[in-house]
């Protein structure tokens, strides 16, 4: 907040090259979404496609889709990215998070044959009046913190997180799969969530060197 | 509106993962429409999803996939941006409004048990839990019950109390198989709640006739 976005990126670059590459990539994806929204930029869209399409196909496969079905679902998700790019708000999500929510909703529709409320809950928050560039950098740094917190989760927490997000298992089914009590599933999820929230809370107090 | 009872972190993760059934999702989303704290938490839970998808090993796509994608772009117009939705519509949280075809004041309630009226809401897959509004007269106690799955209750008007506390408008009671309870509507006014379950309830009463009207829940 209030920092010069260019300085923020420069500080990150000085910090750790691998990390800064991830932040820069995340910023680039958000800019691609903006270019798709503003002028239907196909090249920008295909930059997103080349990165996200193979991962979304994996995501659909993990939920039980056949390879052909997974590719269809992935294409539908990417097409929704194209259609809805104007709804992407860099103040509310990184490109990866926004694309995840689109893919998740399609997966629910098609694999579970279930519906879910269609209102975009995140959109209820009025965006900060900050300019788009600053919001984009903030979101990219935030995504980077979450990525590192998720990567650092202890194995038993990472396992329940994966079973929930990837395999799409409700808590009782995770408990049955791992042969652990339901309460243990929930406490592991809670601990994992606390770590991620803790990493984000650090952010608001300034980026430690 | 000061909200004191929220869905658990695990329930928000389930919502972000897409593993809650439709009825439970509607109750959580309705709470989210009213609760800034939980919207912040949901964002973090969705950030986890974004980070996980980024970290997935890429699948090999079939040859010609790029061209097929480009061809579909030609046939697909982009949507214009829209104004953010309002958190409420017709006096109820917006996610609920999409399931409710009347105002809360003109719901055609149906008698369920003495002091309890209900109004079922239609979900895509019946038989996978229930979603309904309950209107409970002041001071009325529901039979003590336990849960085989989840039960989410969002207070819309009035208040109720159970073993865990007092629930006022905007509060969400997040119950699962580890906890039974006996909700009692507070004495001052009718309590109107939105309730979803994903498995039938188990009643703990020695008087089966008291539980009978609730067996469909
Ligand atoms: Zn809340």
pLDDT in tens, A77-99: 999 999 999 999 888 899 999 99
DSSP state of B159: -
Average pLDDT in the B109-124 region? 89
Domains identified in chain A and CATH numbers: 5-151 (1.10.1740.10), 153-209 (1.10.10.10)
ipTM of the shown complex: 0.89
- pLDDT, position A3: 45
Q: Which two tokens stand for residue B197?
A: 């379950």
State the helix-helix crossing angle for B9-17 and A182-204, rounded to 10 degrees. 90
Measure B186 CA to nearest chain A CA, in Å.
30
Q: Are B113 and B104 in contact (CB under 8 A)?
A: no
Partner residue opposite A164 with nearest CB, options B17, B77, B177: B17
pLDDT: is B86 or A135 the higher one? A135
- pLDDT, position B193: 96
* Cβ within 8 Å, pair A97-B12: no
* Cβ within 8 Å, pair A169-B19: yes
Count the alpha carbons within 13 Å of B62 in the hemisphere toward its beta carbon. Answer: 12
Confidence of residue A208 (pLDDT cuts 50, 70, 90): very low
Evaluated on CA atoms B14, B18, B19, B20, the torsion sign reads: positive
Among A105-114, B53-62, B112-121, B204-213, the least confident range: B204-213
Q: At residue A133, does pLDDT exceed 90?
A: no
Confidence of residue B87 (pLDDT cuts 50, 70, 90): confident
- Chain B within 8 Å of A30 (Cβ-Cβ)? no
Concatenating the DSSP letter of every residue in B201-212 gives EEE--S-HHHHG
Average pLDDT in the A45-50 region? 98
- Chain B within 8 Å of A88 (Cβ-Cβ)? no
Among B61-65, B132-136, B201-205, the least confident range: B201-205
Confidence of residue B212 (pLDDT cuts 50, 70, 90): low
- Chain A within 8 Å of B128 (Cβ-Cβ)? yes
Residue with tokens 């979450």: A146
Measure B207 CA to nearest chain A CA, in Å.
30
Q: Please, which residues bridge with residue B117 across strands?
A: B111, B135
- pLDDT, position B90: 84
- Chain A within 8 Å of B126 (Cβ-Cβ)? no
A-facing residues of B in 22-61 (CB < 8 A) are: 22, 25-26, 29-30, 32-33, 36, 39, 41-61
- pLDDT, position A88: 92
Give the CA dihedral B112, B116, B120, B125, nearest 10 degrees: -80
Q: At residue A26, does pLDDT exceed 90?
A: yes
* Cβ within 8 Å, pair B66-A46: yes
Q: At residue A201, does pLDDT exceed 90?
A: no
Among A8-12, A61-65, A179-183, the least confident range: A8-12
Q: At residue A74, does pLDDT exceed 50?
A: yes
Percent of chain A with pLDDT over 70: 79
Q: Are B167 and B159 in contact (CB under 8 A)?
A: yes
Instruction: Give the Cα separation of B168 and B158 in Å (integer).
Output: 6
Q: At residue B67, does pLDDT exceed 90?
A: yes
Average model confidence (pLDDT) across chain A: 85
Concatenating the DSSP letter of every residue in B104-153 gives GGG---EEEETTEEEEE---SSTTS-EEEEEEE-TTPBPPPEEESS-EEE
- pLDDT, position A207: 47
Q: Which two tokens stand for residue B205?
A: 């009463």
Q: At residue B125, does pLDDT exceed 80?
A: no
- pLDDT, position B101: 86
- pTM to 2 decimal places: 0.89
pLDDT in tens, B1-45: 789 999 999 999 999 999 998 899 999 999 999 999 999 999 999
Q: At residue A209, does pLDDT exceed 50?
A: no
Domains identified in chain B and CATH numbers: 1-58+91-217 (2.60.120.10)
Closest CA to B170 of B84, B93, B101: B93
- Chain B within 8 Å of A46 (Cβ-Cβ)? yes
């Amino acid at each position: 907040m209030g920092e010069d976005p260019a300085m923020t990126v420069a500080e990150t670059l000085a910090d750790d090259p691998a990390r800064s590459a991830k932040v820069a990539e995340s910023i680039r994806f958000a800019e691609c979404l903006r270019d798709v929204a503003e002028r239907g930029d196909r090249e920008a869209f295909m930059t997103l496609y080349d990165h996200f399409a193979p991962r979304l196909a994996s995501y659909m496969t993990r939920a039980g889709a056949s390879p052909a079905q997974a590719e269809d679902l992935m294409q539908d998700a990417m097409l929704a990215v194209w259609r809805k790019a104007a709804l992407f708000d860099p103040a509310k999500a990184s490109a990866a998070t926004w694309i995840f929510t689109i893919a998740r909703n399609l997966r629910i529709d098609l694999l579970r044959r279930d519906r879910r409320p269609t209102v975009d809950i995140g959109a209820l928050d009025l965006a900060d009046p900050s300019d788009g560039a600053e919001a984009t950098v903030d979101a990219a740094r935030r995504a980077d913190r979450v990525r590192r917190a998720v990567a650092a989760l202890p194995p038993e927490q990472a396992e329940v997180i994966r079973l929930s997000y990837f395999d799409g298992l409700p808590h009782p089914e995770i408990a049955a799969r791992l042969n652990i009590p339901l309460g243990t599933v929930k406490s592991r999820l809670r601990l994992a969530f606390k770590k991620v929230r803790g990493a984000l809370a650090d952010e608001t107090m300034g980026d430690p060197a | 509106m000061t909200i004191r009872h929220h869905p658990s972190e695990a329930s928000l993760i389930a919502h972000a993962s897409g593993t809650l059934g439709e009825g439970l999702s509607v109750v959580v989303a309705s709470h989210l429409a009213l609760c800034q704290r939980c919207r912040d938490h949901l964002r973090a839970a969705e950030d986890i999803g974004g980070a996980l998808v980024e970290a997935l090993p890429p699948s090999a796509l079939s040859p010609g996939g790029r061209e097929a994608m480009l061809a579909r772009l030609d046939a697909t117009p982009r949507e214009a941006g829209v104004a953010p939705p309002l958190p409420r519509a017709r006096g109820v949280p917006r996610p609920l409004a999409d399931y409710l075809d009347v105002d809360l004041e003109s719901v055609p309630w149906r008698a369920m048990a003495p002091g309890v009226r209900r109004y079922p809401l239609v979900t895509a897959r019946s038989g996978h839990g229930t979603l309904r509004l309950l209107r409970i007269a002041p001071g009325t106690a529901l039979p003590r019950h336990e849960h085989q799955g989840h039960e989410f209750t969002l207070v819309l008007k009035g208040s109720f109390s159970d073993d865990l506390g007092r629930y006022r408008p905007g509060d969400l009671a997040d119950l699962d198989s580890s906890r039974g309870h006996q909700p009692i509507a507070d004495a001052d006014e009718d309590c109107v709640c939105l309730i979803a379950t994903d498995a039938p309830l188990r009643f703990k009463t020695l008087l089966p006739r008291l539980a009978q009207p609730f067996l469909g829940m």
